Amino acid sequence: MGLLMLGLVAGAVVPFQTAVNSRLRTYVISPFVSSLISFMVGTIFLIVIIILSGGELLLTSAQLHAIPWWMYLGGVLGMIGLTTNILLFPILGSVQTVIMPVLGQIMMSMIIDNYGMFGTTRHPLSLMRMVGVLLLIVGGINCGRLTRIFSTEFYEKTS
Q: Whole-model pTM?
A: 0.73
pLDDT of residue 149: 62
Domain segments of the chain as ranges: 10-158
35, exposed or middle or buried, with CB in 10 Å at 0-12, 13-18, 19+? buried
> Model confidence over 124-157: pLDDT tens digits?
999 998 998 888 888 877 876 666 666 655 555 5
C-alpha pair distances (Å), 18 with each of 83, 147, 150: 9, 19, 24
For residue 140, the tally of other CB atoms under 10 A from its CB is 16
C-alpha–C-alpha distance, residues 17 and 19, integer Å: 6
Residue 12 pLDDT grade (very low, low, confident, very high; cuts 50, 70, 90): confident
